[in-house]
């Protein structure tokens, strides 16, 4: 009887799951039409070799050269199509084609100063490219750091590149890039790693692996920007699309969203597989963090400097202190939190108690790291201060940053943290030399709903960090 009941419950659960998947598959058919850059895979993209095969970073660079040559087949040159796809990143003469600039920041970039005082490996986020950490790279390079901005497999080319990529392709590429840069630096020169979003998870994963296994150079310090220590639990089911998406009728079910590709350095369309691979990466990272905390490996962990908004629709911002920082030793780490805009005029507009996030830190005196809040000087001022509390102390110091919240901006966003206010693509300040390019950070279209092919949330989401200047200065001082 018990066995029959168990089989009956299992059958009901299976039926419910299959029904949900079927509804989702039919619903996906309502998305925009798929283009060549969604459908056609890139045959020459780099893939992690089998465990018993040793690969070098030069092998990755050779594959990257081939994949960008293969990318030419997606170029739109037909004059009739160019009228429709003028702002598409693949338009041959389009203003958003990234190949029209002196440096194509979709590709791996290596910046070598005349005199080297250290090295930094920078890792971008999911659907992003090395461009997302461009200003950080250029600043560190000017300060004397040998900087390697790594393009992770599947990125910087076409969204179809993420249909079959594996998180192992990313972790392996990070390993060979770190070894390459460490050898270039030579003995006694410190290696640091910086990571944004998914790149932050990769930076933490790599560092834990070197400490647990003893293989590979362990970075001296980590710099993280909105790291994906944990993401929404819905991503765990992203790989279930395979039950139906192999059927041509449900081809669009492979995608979380299909949107026009007007952004030169970031995919607007996202395959389900991309979210699934980040989920697998973060699940493994959380397991390693628990293991490292239990066995004392975190006592050897390098100092970490993290910049994180208290509101983040992409990653679980609460996991950063609970899973990572609260388990660190007293090693000089710092967590910088960008608060919401606390102007009294905005009181009552927030959907959750975001105003109290910073307050929860202020009541703690047991933290082994410095935490800094970038917040309003007062609830009647847009000017901001950096309020810091030292480890194991209630002692707080405040410094004016000579910066302020822009009007009509109520918080940072996940995609805004690494970009300056004058960024030629995502910034607010217009650059006369870049007038032909679409300024994604300052778009403010108004009209009727359902007309534009761009979701309204894309237009409303902040794309630049008003406090980027402070962030670069803090990185410089900390290193």
3-state SS, residue 224: strand
Q: Which CATH number fits domain 31-217+233-301: 2.60.40, 3.10.580, 1.10.10, 3.40.50?
A: 3.40.50
Burial class (CB in 10 A: 0-12, 13-18, 19+), 359: exposed
Q: Would you tell me how many other CB atoms lie within 10 Å of the CB of residue 200? A: 30
Separation between Cα atoms, residue 479 and residue 476, nearest integer Å? 5
**Going residue by residue through the chain (479 aa), what tens digit of pLDDT does each one get?**
565 666 666 666 555 555 555 555 555 556 667 888 898 889 999 998 877 777 899 999 999 999 999 998 888 776 677 777 788 888 887 888 888 888 999 999 999 999 999 999 999 999 999 999 999 999 999 999 999 999 999 999 999 999 999 999 999 999 999 999 999 999 999 999 999 999 999 999 999 999 999 899 999 999 999 999 887 665 555 555 555 554 655 566 778 888 888 899 999 999 999 999 999 999 999 999 988 888 888 889 999 999 999 888 888 888 888 888 888 889 999 999 999 888 766 666 666 666 667 777 666 777 889 989 999 888 888 899 999 888 887 778 889 999 999 888 888 889 999 999 999 888 886 555 555 566 665 565 555 555 566 666 666 778 899 999 999 999 999 99
CA proximity to 161, closest of 86, 269, 260:
269
Give the CA distances from residue 198 to residues 162, 435, 467, in Å, rounded to whole numbers and listed in that order. 14, 31, 22
Give the CA distances from residue 232 to residues 228, 314, 339, 423, in Å, rounded to whole numbers and listed in that order. 10, 7, 21, 29
The residues spanned by each domain of the chain are 31-217+233-301, 303-479
Please list the residues that pair with 386 across neighbouring strands.
374, 399
- Burial state string for 51-68 with b = 16 or more CB within 10 A and e = fewer than 16: eeeebebeebbebbeebb
């Amino acid at each position: 009887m018990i066995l029959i009941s168990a089989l009956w419950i299992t059958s009901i659960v299976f039926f419910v799951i299959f029904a949900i998947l079927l509804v989702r598959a039919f619903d996906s058919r309502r998305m925009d039409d798929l283009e060549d850059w969604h459908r056609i895979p890139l045959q020459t993209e780099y893939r992690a070799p089998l465990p018993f095969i040793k690969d070098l970073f030069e092998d990755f660079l050779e594959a990257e050269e081939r994949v960008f040559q293969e990318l030419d087949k997606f170029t739109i040159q037909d004059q009739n199509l160019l009228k429709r796809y003028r702002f598409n990143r693949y338009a041959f003469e389009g203003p958003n084609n990234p190949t029209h600039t002196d440096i194509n920041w979709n590709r791996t970039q290596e910046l070598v100063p005349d005199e080297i005082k250290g090295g930094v490996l920078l890792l971008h986020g999911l659907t992003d490219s090395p461009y997302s950490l461009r200003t950080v790279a250029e600043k560190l390079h000017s300060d004397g750091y040998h900087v390697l901005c790594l393009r992770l497999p599947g990125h910087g080319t076409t969204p179809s590149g993420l249909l079959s990529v594996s998180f192992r392709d990313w972790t392996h590429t990070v390993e060979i890039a770190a070894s390459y840069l460490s050898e270039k630096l030579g003995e006694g020169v410190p290696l640091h790693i910086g990571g944004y979003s998914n790149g932050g998870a990769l930076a933490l994963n790599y560092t834990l692996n070197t400490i647990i296994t003893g293989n590979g150079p362990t970075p001296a310090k980590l710099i993280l920007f909105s790291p994906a220590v944990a993401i929404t639990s819905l991503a765990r089911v992203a790989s279930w699309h395979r039950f139906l998406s192999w059927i041509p009728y449900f081809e669009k079910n492979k995608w979380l969203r299909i949107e026009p590709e007007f952004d030169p350095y970031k995919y607007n369309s996202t395959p389900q597989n991309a979210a699934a691979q980040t989920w697998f990466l973060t699940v493994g990272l959380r397991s390693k963090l628990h293991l490292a905390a239990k066995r004392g490996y975190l006592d050897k962990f390098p100092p970490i400097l993290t910049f994180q908004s208290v509101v983040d629709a992409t990653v679980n911002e609460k996991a950063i202190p609970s899973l990572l920082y609260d388990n660190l030793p007293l090693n000089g780490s710092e967590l910088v939190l960008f608060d919401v805009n606390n102007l009294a005029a905005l009181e009552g507009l927030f959907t959750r108690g975001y105003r109290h996030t910073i307050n929860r830190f202020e009541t703690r005196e047991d933290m082994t790291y410095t935490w800094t809040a970038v917040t309003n000087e007062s609830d009647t001022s847009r000017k901001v201060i950096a309020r810091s509390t030292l480890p194991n102390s209630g002692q707080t110091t405040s410094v004016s940053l000579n910066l302020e919240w822009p009007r009509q901006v109520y918080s940072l966003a996940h995609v805004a943290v690494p970009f300056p206010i004058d960024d030629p693509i995502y910034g607010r300040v217009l650059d006369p030399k870049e007038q032909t390019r679409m300024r994604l950070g300052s778009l403010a279209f108004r009209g009727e709903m359902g007309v534009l092919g761009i979701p309204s949330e894309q237009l409303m989401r902040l794309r630049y960090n008003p406090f980027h200047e402070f962030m670069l200065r803090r990185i410089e001082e900390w290193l």
